[in-house]
C-alpha cells in the first residue's frame, strides 16, 4: 500500500497559476424492482447470493432480456437532463476480468448511448459573501449499464484489496440497472470548481429523486461519483509540447466519492496536488485515485494500463433499443418540475424570505413542509413546527429530518392536525408544543396525545370571565392603569389569569376580555 | 489486415488471464494467424451500401416487464463454485495491479 504523502500547493496559489478542468461521472442505481437483464429482485441488504440467477451469474447459455422500466427510466433521466434521445442504440460488451463481474464482461453502452448532448443548470450557493451563481453543466451522455457484485476481502490487515489473501463475492448487486451520467469537460469554474462539483451532484440527486427513478442514497452507494480533474496553465501559450498535446491537462480519476462534502473536498485536494506536481516541473500520471474521508486526501490507485483495453463490441444477445418518438414525447410529459424551479415557486407561494428558505433547505424540510401545507396548514406554521423540536431532536440524533420523522412516526398530516387544533383555539401555543413532544415520544396522533394528557383550552367562557374578574379585583392599581389607557399593563394580568386557569386558557381571549371589561377593548 | 504478432498474442493472453508458455505463444501466433487469414476472406465481399449487422434478426425493443421472477437459492447458486464461504463465492486474491 502506498504511504507516500503527496505534496500539495496552497489552494490560492494553485488557483493563481492554473485553471481547473473537471469531468464528473455519476453512476446511479435505478430503483426498479428487478435487475437490468433478468427478473432477480434488487432489494438492498438481502442475504448474500439469494437474488441471483443464471443470467446475472453469467452461466453458459443464459439469455438476457432488457427490463422495460430500465429503458424508460434512462429516457426520463436523459430528457430531464435536456438530452437528445437516440432513435436507435445498442448495448455493448465491455470485456474485463475481475471477480465482481461474473460474466467477464459488463453489459454497457459504448458509442451509442441512449441519451446525449444535454445540460443541467446548477445553482452554486454564494459563500464567503459571493453572489449565488448559475453554472451550466454540459452533459456528454447518459447510458445504460449494470452494476457489479460486492467483494469482501479476507486476510488483509486493512480490509482493502491490498494484502488480501482471498475475496468473497456476493452477486446480489450484479446486474442491477445503472445509469452512468458523464459531463463534458467543465471549465471556467475557477476557484469555485469544488462548489460547482458539489452543487452539480446535489442538483442531480434532487432531479433523480424528483423523477422517482432511484433512492439516490450516496451513503448506501446507490449514487456514486467519480471525479476527473486536470489543470491547465491559467493564460498564454502552452509552456511545453506535452501541454500543447493535452490542452486540458492530464487528468486523474478519483473513484467512488460518496458524499456531497467529499466531492467538494476531493476536487479541492486534487487541484492542490496537481498544482504542486506541475509547479515542480513534474507530470501528472493518468491514474485512478482513492479518496479518504478521514484525511480528505487522495492516494494513488491503479495506473491506466493495458488492462483498460476493453475490446467493446455490440452485445449479440440483446437486440437494439429504438424508442419511438411518440413514446419519448409521452415520457417527456411525465417529467416533474425541475427541482430548482420548484423551490423558487414554493418560496414565492409561501412568502418565505431568502433566509427562511435557506433554513428550510438546510434542515431538509422542504418536502415535509410541502406535504404539511397540502394537508391544510399554513406555510408559516408548517415551517415553525418542523424547524422547531423535530429538527432539534433530529440534529441531536445525527439523523436527517425526514429519517427522524419516519422513525418516530411524525407525519405532515400530524403537524397539520396540530396546527388545526391551535387554529380552532383548542390548544394554545404552549400546549401545542407539549402535544408535539408527546407525538415525538411515540404517544400517538396529536388529538390522542392532547386527550391523554388532558391538554385542552377551557372553552367555557364563564370560567374565563370569572378568572378575569377575580384578577382585576385583586389588582386594582394595574386595572386603573389600563383604564387610563396603558394597555401594555394588561400583560401582568394575563399572566395571572392564565395561572388561575392552570394554563388551559387562550391568552388572546383573556387579553380581549380584560381590555373589554376595563373599557379599552 | 495487419499480421498478428507475438506481442499481440501475449497482450491478449494477459487480458484473458491465460498463462501461456513461450512455446505455446509461438504456436498460437501461427494458429491464430491461420484463423484470421481464413476469416479475412469475408472482407473480400463487396459491402458498399450495406448496413453493418450485430444481430441476425432485424428486430428491436425486445423487453420484459419489471416483475420479479424467482431467483436461485444461495445453495444452488454456489453449487458450481469450487470454494465458498459465508454464503459467498471464494475467489483468489484480487489482481496485483489494483
Q: pLDDT (tens digit, 9 = 90+) per residue, B28-82?
A: 999 999 999 999 898 889 989 988 878 888 899 999 999 999 999 999 999 999 9
B61 and chain A in contact, CB less than 8 A: yes
In this structure, the dihedral spanned by the alpha carbons of residues A148, A154, A160 and A162, taken in order and rounded to 10 degrees, is -110
Partners of residue A1 in chain B, C-beta under 8 Å = none
Residue of B nearest to A92 (CA): B54
Query: How buried is residue B12: exposed, middle or buried, by Cβ count under 10 Å (0-12/13-18/19+)?
Result: middle
All residues at 6 or more sequence positions from A172 whose CB lies less than 8 Å from its CB, including other chains:
A40, A46, A48, A49, A50, A51, A52, A149, A150
A178 membership: H or E segment, kind and range: strand A177-183
Residue A339 pLDDT grade (very low, low, confident, very high; cuts 50, 70, 90): confident
Structural domain of B13 = 6-43
A63 and chain B in contact, CB less than 8 A: no
Question: According to the model, what pLDDT value does residue A516 have?
Answer: 83
pLDDT of residue A236 exceeding 70, the answer is no
Q: Are A266 and A227 in contact (CB under 8 A)?
A: yes
Residue B95 pLDDT grade (very low, low, confident, very high; cuts 50, 70, 90): low
pLDDT of residue A98 exceeding 90, the answer is no
B14 occurs within a structural domain = yes
Which has more pLDDT, A464 or B9? B9
**Given B66, B72, B84, which is nearest A69 (Cβ)?**
B66
Cα–Cα distance list, A140 to A81, A111, A182, A202, B22 (Å)? 10, 12, 6, 18, 45
B88 occurs within a structural domain = no
- Cell numbers found for residue A276: 504542486
Helices (H) and strands (E) in chain B, counts: 3, 3
Partners of residue A50 in chain B, C-beta under 8 Å = 71, 73-74, 77
B53 and chain A in contact, CB less than 8 A: no
> Do the Cβ atoms of B72 and A53 come within 8 Å?
yes
Question: According to the model, what pLDDT value does residue A467 have?
Answer: 86
Inter-chain CB pairs, A–B, below 8 Å: 147
B19 occurs within a structural domain = yes
User: How many domains would you assign to chain B?
Assistant: 1
Question: According to the model, what pLDDT value does residue A163 have?
Answer: 60
B76 occurs within a structural domain = no
CA distance A196 to A124: 6
* Mean of pLDDT values over A459-482: 85
Which CATH number is B30's domain given? 1.10.20
> Do the Cβ atoms of A314 and B54 come within 8 Å?
yes
Start-to-end CA distance of chain A, whole Å, equals 81
| B10–chain A nearest CA distance, Å | 11
Report CA A376 to chain centroid distance, whole Å: 26
A contact residues 90-119, partner B, Cβ 8 Å cutoff:
90, 95-99
CA distance A228 to A225: 10
Residue of B nearest to A305 (CA): B97
Mean pLDDT check: name the lowest of A104-118, A173-187, B27-41.
B27-41
State the pairing for strand pair A18-29/A223-233: antiparallel
A62 and chain B in contact, CB less than 8 A: no
| A85–chain B nearest CA distance, Å | 15
SS3 A352: coil
Which has more pLDDT, A112 or B56? A112
Residue-wise pLDDT for A128-164, tens only, equals 667 778 999 999 999 999 999 999 888 765 555 556 6
Highest mean pLDDT among A261-270, A349-358, B33-42: A261-270
Mean pLDDT over each residue of chain A, to the nearest integer:
90
State the pairing for strand pair A18-29/A177-183: antiparallel
Report CA A320 to chain centroid distance, whole Å: 34
B81 and chain A in contact, CB less than 8 A: no
> Do the Cβ atoms of A68 and B63 come within 8 Å?
yes
> Do the Cβ atoms of B85 and A38 come within 8 Å?
no
Partners of residue A311 in chain B, C-beta under 8 Å = 15
A249 membership: H or E segment, kind and range: none
B76 membership: H or E segment, kind and range: helix B74-78
Residue A192 pLDDT grade (very low, low, confident, very high; cuts 50, 70, 90): very high
> Do the Cβ atoms of B87 and A314 come within 8 Å?
no
A contact residues 75-94, partner B, Cβ 8 Å cutoff:
88, 90
> Do the Cβ atoms of A33 and B71 come within 8 Å?
no
pLDDT of residue A307 exceeding 60, the answer is no
Backbone angles phi, psi at B19, to 5 degrees: -90, 110
Partners of residue A107 in chain B, C-beta under 8 Å = none
The secondary structure of B48-85 as a DSSP string is TT----SSSS-----EE-S-------HHHHHTT-S-EE
> Do the Cβ atoms of A50 and B68 come within 8 Å?
no
Residue A1 pLDDT grade (very low, low, confident, very high; cuts 50, 70, 90): very low
Question: According to the model, what pLDDT value does residue A72 have?
Answer: 98
- Cell numbers found for residue A45: 441488504
pLDDT of residue A343 exceeding 60, the answer is yes
| A459–chain B nearest CA distance, Å | 57
Cα–Cα distance list, A112 to A35, A140, A143, A249, B57 (Å)? 21, 12, 8, 27, 19
Q: Which of A191, A172, A178 is nearest to A48 (CA)?
A: A172
B33 occurs within a structural domain = yes
Total length of chain B: 98
B28 occurs within a structural domain = yes
B23 occurs within a structural domain = yes
Question: According to the model, what pLDDT value does residue A215 have?
Answer: 92
Residue A377 pLDDT grade (very low, low, confident, very high; cuts 50, 70, 90): very high
Partners of residue A112 in chain B, C-beta under 8 Å = none
Question: According to the model, what pLDDT value does residue A237 have?
Answer: 63
Beta bridge partners of A134: A123
Question: According to the model, what pLDDT value does residue B96 have?
Answer: 47
Question: According to the model, what pLDDT value does residue B97 have?
Answer: 40
**Given B63, B68, B78, which is nearest A49 (Cβ)?**
B78
* Mean of pLDDT values over A277-294: 90
Question: According to the model, what pLDDT value does residue A301 have?
Answer: 84
Domains of chain A: residue spans and CATH: 11-332 (no CATH), 339-453 (no CATH), 461-517 (1.10.10.410)
CA distance B56 to A316: 9
| Neighbouring C-beta atoms of residue A354, cutoff 10 Å | 9
Mean pLDDT check: name the lowest of A116-120, A280-284, A378-382.
A280-284
A contact residues 156-195, partner B, Cβ 8 Å cutoff:
161-162, 164-171
B19 and chain A in contact, CB less than 8 A: no
A256 and chain B in contact, CB less than 8 A: no
B77 occurs within a structural domain = no
Residue of A nearest to B91 (CA): A167
A54 and chain B in contact, CB less than 8 A: yes
Cα–Cα distance list, A480 to A473, A474, A477, A516 (Å)? 11, 12, 5, 14
B30 and chain A in contact, CB less than 8 A: no
Angle at A341 between CA A335 and CA A346, to 5 degrees: 110
A1 and chain B in contact, CB less than 8 A: no
Amino acid at each position: 500500500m502506498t504511504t507516500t504523502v503527496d505534496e500539495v500547493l496552497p489552494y490560492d496559489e494553485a488557483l493563481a497559476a492554473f485553471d481547473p478542468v473537471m469531468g464528473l461521472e455519476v453512476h446511479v442505481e435505478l430503483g426498479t424492482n428487478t435487475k437490468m437483464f433478468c427478473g432477480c429482485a434488487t432489494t438492498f441488504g438481502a442475504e448474500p447470493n439469494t437474488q441471483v440467477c443464471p443470467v446475472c451469474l453469467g452461466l453458459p447459455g443464459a439469455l438476457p432480456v432488457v427490463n422495460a422500466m430500465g429503458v424508460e427510466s434512462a429516457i426520463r433521466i436523459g430528457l430531464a437532463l435536456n438530452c437528445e434521445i437516440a432513435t436507435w442504440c445498442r448495448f455493448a460488451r465491455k470485456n474485463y476480468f475481475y471477480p465482481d463481474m461474473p460474466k467477464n464482461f459488463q453489459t454497457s453502452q459504448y458509442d451509442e448511448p441512449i441519451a446525449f448532448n444535454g445540460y443541467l443548470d446548477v445553482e452554486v450557493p454564494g459563500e464567503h459573501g459571493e453572489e449565488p451563481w448559475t453554472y451550466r453543466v454540459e452533459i456528454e451522455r447518459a447510458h445504460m449499464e449494470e452494476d457489479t457484485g460486492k467483494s469482501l476481502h479476507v486476510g488483509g490487515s486493512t480490509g482493502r484489496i491490498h494484502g488480501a489473501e482471498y475475496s468473497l463475492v456476493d452477486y446480489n448487486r450484479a446486474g442491477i440497472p445503472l445509469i452512468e451520467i458523464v459531463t463534458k469537460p467543465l471549465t471556467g469554474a475557477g476557484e469555485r470548481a469544488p462548489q460547482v462539483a458539489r452543487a452539480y451532484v446535489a442538483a442531480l440527486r434532487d432531479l433523480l429523486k424528483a423523477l422517482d427513478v432511484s433512492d439516490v442514497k450516496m451513503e448506501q452507494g446507490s449514487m456514486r461519483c467519480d471525479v476527473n480533474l486536470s489543470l491547465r496553465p491559467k493564460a498564454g501559450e502552452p509552456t511545453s509540447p506535452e501541454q500543447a498535446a493535452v490542452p486540458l491537462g492530464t487528468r486523474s480519476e478519483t473513484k467512488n466519492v460518496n458524499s456531497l462534502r467529499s466531492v467538494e473536498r476531493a476536487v479541492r485536494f486534487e487541484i492542490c496536488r496537481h498544482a504542486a506536481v506541475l509547479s515542480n516541473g513534474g507530470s501528472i500520471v493518468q491514474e485512478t485515485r482513492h479518496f479518504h474521508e478521514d484525511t480528505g486526501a487522495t492516494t494513488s490507485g491503479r495506473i491506466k494500463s493495458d488492462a483498460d483495453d476493453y475490446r467493446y463490441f455490440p452485445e449479440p444477445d440483446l437486440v437494439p433499443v429504438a424508442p419511438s418518438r411518440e413514446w419519448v414525447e409521452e415520457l417527456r410529459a411525465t417529467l416533474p418540475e425541475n427541482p430548482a424551479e420548484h423551490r423558487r415557486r414554493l418560496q414565492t407561494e409561501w412568502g418565505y424570505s431568502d433566509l427562511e428558505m435557506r433554513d428550510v433547505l438546510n434542515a431538509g424540510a422542504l418536502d415535509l413542509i410541502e406535504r404539511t401545507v397540502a394537508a391544510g396548514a399554513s406555510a408559516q406554521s408548517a415551517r415553525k413546527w418542523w424547524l422547531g423540536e423535530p429538527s432539534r431532536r433530529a440534529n441531536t440524533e445525527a439523523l436527517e429530518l425526514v429519517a427522524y420523522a419516519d422513525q418516530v412516526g411524525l407525519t405532515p398530516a400530524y403537524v397539520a392536525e396540530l396546527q388545526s387544533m391551535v387554529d380552532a383555539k383548542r390548544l394554545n401555543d404552549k400546549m401545542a408544543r407539549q402535544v408535539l413532544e408527546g407525538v415525538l415520544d411515540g404517544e400517538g396522533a396529536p388529538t390522542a396525545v392532547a386527550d391523554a394528557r388532558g391538554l385542552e383550552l377551557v372553552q367555557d367562557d364563564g370560567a374565563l370571565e370569572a378568572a378575569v374578574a377575580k384578577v382585576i379585583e385583586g389588582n386594582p392599581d394595574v386595572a386603573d392603569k389600563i383604564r387610563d389607557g396603558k394597555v401594555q399593563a394588561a400583560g401582568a394580568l394575563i399572566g395571572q389569569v392564565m395561572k388561575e386557569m392552570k394554563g388551559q386558557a387562550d391568552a388572546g381571549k383573556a387579553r380581549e376580555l380584560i381590555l373589554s371589561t376595563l373599557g379599552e377593548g | 489486415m495487419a499480421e498478428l504478432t507475438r506481442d499481440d498474442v501475449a497482450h491478449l493472453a494477459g487480458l484473458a488471464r491465460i498463462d501461456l508458455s513461450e512455446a505455446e505463444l509461438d504456436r498460437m501466433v501461427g494458429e491464430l494467424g491461420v484463423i484470421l487469414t481464413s476469416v479475412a476472406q469475408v472482407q473480400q465481399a463487396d459491402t458498399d451500401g450495406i448496413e453493418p449487422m450485430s444481430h441476425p434478426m432485424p428486430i428491436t425493443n425486445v423487453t420484459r416487464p419489471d416483475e420479479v421472477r424467482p431467483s436461485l437459492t444461495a445453495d444452488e447458486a454456489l453449487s458450481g463454485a469450487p470454494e465458498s464461504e459465508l454464503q459467498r463465492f471464494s475467489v483468489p486474491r484480487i489482481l496485483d495491479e489494483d
